[in-house]
A and B are shown apart, each in its own frame.
Chain A
Amino acid sequence: MRDIGAPDTGHVTPNLLLLPRLVRLRGVGVDAEQSRLLLRALAEVDLAREDDMRAAARAVLVRHPADIPRFENAFDTFIALLRGARPSSSNLVSRKTSRMRESELPALVPEQGEGRIRGERNVRIVSSPLEILRRVDFAAMTAEERTAAARFLATLEWSPGFRRSRRFDRSAHGGSLDARATLARSRRWLGEPLELVRRTPRQKRRPLVLLLDVSGSMDTYTRLLLQLAHSLSRGWGRVEAFTFGTRLTRVTRQMRHRRADSALAHVAQSVEDWSGGTRIGEGLHQFNRRWSRRVLGRGAVVLLCTDGWERGDVSVLAAEARARQRAAYRRVWLNPLAGTRGYAPEGAGARALAAAVDDHLPANTLDGLAAIAKLLAKAGRGRPVRRQLPT
């Protein structure tokens, strides 16, 4: 055990409020109430014992397991400063300034190299009326058109439907008899059950889980899909978002930023595998292992956005796509390639995915996305019969 040593404890008290500041600088939210509580907590423990001090501060300042490493780092710095280390810029630098500016966003959309353009639109119009735009492949859009497309996306009404919750609402007619409430009501009538109270299950929003492929082959679609994810998060609320290329990253918290630009900038900062290879199987594996239990409950609807180009082991992809297939209420595969003429899921990876999802839909045009929005609204009630695949 490392001790601060008795002579140093005198330094601790006047410098205590440095600790919440250090923690905050590492991106962990600390409010004033926590700072106050920290003082009370530290008054209760022996300040000569570093491990006790650490545990006490952790109990007050940390609220998510993911914040623990950042807290530990801040606490180490705090202790080092107490021991007389000079504050270095790396210790104290604000996250704000180290944040990536939007101009440094990785090139989500490559500038219009002619070879990249899919579809038959070779004549370029600066911006098109929305009606035409709605049928244009995202890959063939100009930057202005993409902006217009993003604005259109924000207007779509996305709702992955409702499910019956286990809570009940009173209902005037229909539903089943609420025996407990009927009995309670009959107290008014000297114990005669004159009024029958009925109840129906309350409807609840289904959680939505987004899995976005951000690998190189998806480049032209990534930004729009992220924008879509953002407007979904803003509108629906109960949305979990993940990106994957070669590894899985959870971006739910980044998506909560109000402005799409800043949300995307935060996503860009935390995702490390932009435009790299695709190992869909590995991404799904990590999702199944680490997150499925936490986010797939309560009748979730899963949107998997990928082109199905697997560069890793296809047998892994097939196994992971099948694993936990019944954990979600409905699994929808949004495939930008599916909208191109004559496409059929013929790659081994695409075949495996197509077999394991409930719906396989084109997602390369705004019309496609609008159709998906419509489907989702109905997805909450009834789903296609599933073939149970051997796991």
Chain B
Amino acid sequence: MGSVAVSNWSSPDDVLIALERERYVADRSLAVTLFLALRLGKPLFLEGEAGVGKTEVAKVLCASLGSRLIRLQCYEGLDLASAVYEWDHARQILEIRLAEAEGRAAAARTRIYSEEFLIKRPLLEAVSSADTPVLLIDEVDRADEEFEAYLLELLSDFQVTVPELGTFKAKTPPPVIITSNRTREVHDALKRRCLYHWIDYPTAERELAIVHARMPDISARLARSVVAVVQALRGDDLFKRPGVAETLDWAMALGALGAVELDAGAIDSTLGVLLKYEDDIRHVREASLPLLAEAASGA
């Protein structure tokens, strides 16, 4: 990798320290994988349940490299015009009209296909940018196979061809992070071009560290209770288990309510922050509320 900041990282420990400085508590295997992705110039494919901090990895990486984040949110039907580039048709037509009025229509023929009339979307932006940005391709599982096939081409050469204009090629391939929530299996051909990392729910110890890192003002006791309850909930038979994002939201909500300690009442009234399905909420209210309160007070 060509960027100065990246080459400053000589071992996974440096990555861990850099992430911690940005208040991201990673486990070591993520740090190793991230380190390798940067060193080998390979895209990093991150999978995991919703809310475990996949997108956050890209943001934090950007912050610690001091580079720009270019984010492409995927959705079904995402096409080249929204992902790569598009000609600014309206301005081109205005230019034609103007040129006609000024009697220089012949010159306009080539002029309207200059970079000035090209709207760069995230992927072209990442490839043609003068600095080395971090490219985040978020929730690639939401895009369809057609888009995946296009990504294959981009990720192997880091170049984009605009037929009317020519080829843009990245001087140094930008660090690329691809995330997936597994709402469908992404094709192996795409994974083959990447390093793979599965982000699991954190251990209690690490989750506590995350809560403290993100919310320095929280009382140690409340933080311990919050983590104990969330960890207990993840062991429960739920349709959607709470992620780290929910833990942080919940801690924030409890803070806003001025809660000092967690009892069954406080858990019950804020359950909607942690659980997003009616079935899950009902299940917890009926079956596990006393157990959770116990976990909270025991922590």
Contacts and interface: CB of A to CB of B under 8 A. Distances in A.
A51 B28 contact: yes
A352 to B, nearest CB: 17
Interface string B217-247: 0000000000000000000010100000000
Contacts of A180: 81, 86, 89
A167 B82 CA distance: 12
Nearest to A240: B185
Given A166-B77, A294-B184, A59 B33 contact: yes
Nearest to A292: B239
A62 interface: yes
B36 A41 contact: yes
Contacts of B144: 165-167, 204
B35 A184 contact: no
Contacts of B35: 44-45
Contact of A62 (B36, B86, B196): B196
B52 to A, nearest CB: 12
B40 A44 contact: yes
A204 B144 CA distance: 11
Contacts of A295: 184
A46 interface: yes
B4 interface: no
B241 to A, nearest CB: 10
A179 to B, nearest CB: 9
B81 A52 contact: no
Contacts of A33: 192
Interface residues of A, number: 41
B184 A297 contact: yes
B110 interface: no
Interface in B180-196: 182-185, 188, 191-192, 195-196
Contacts of B196: 58-60, 62-63
B251 to A, nearest CB: 26
A40 interface: yes
A374 interface: no
Interface string B58-83: 00000000000000000111010100
A167 B78 CA distance: 8
A108 interface: no
Interface string B113-137: 0000000000000000000000000
B100 interface: yes
Interface in A252-304: 288-289, 293-295, 297-298
B150 interface: no
Nearest to A288: B239
Contacts of A54: 29
Given A44-B40, A294-B184, 7 more contacts: A41-B40, A58-B33, A166-B77, A166-B144, A180-B86, A187-B112, A293-B183
Interface of A: 31, 33-34, 37, 40-41, 44-46, 51-52, 54-56, 58-60, 62-63, 65, 68, 165-167, 180, 183-184, 186-187, 190-191, 204, 288-289, 293-295, 297-298, 323, 391
21 contacts: A37-B40, A37-B42, A40-B40, A41-B40, A45-B32, A45-B36, A51-B28, A55-B32, A55-B33, A58-B33, A59-B37, A60-B36, A60-B195, A63-B188, A63-B192, A63-B196, A166-B76, A183-B90, A187-B92, A289-B239, A294-B182
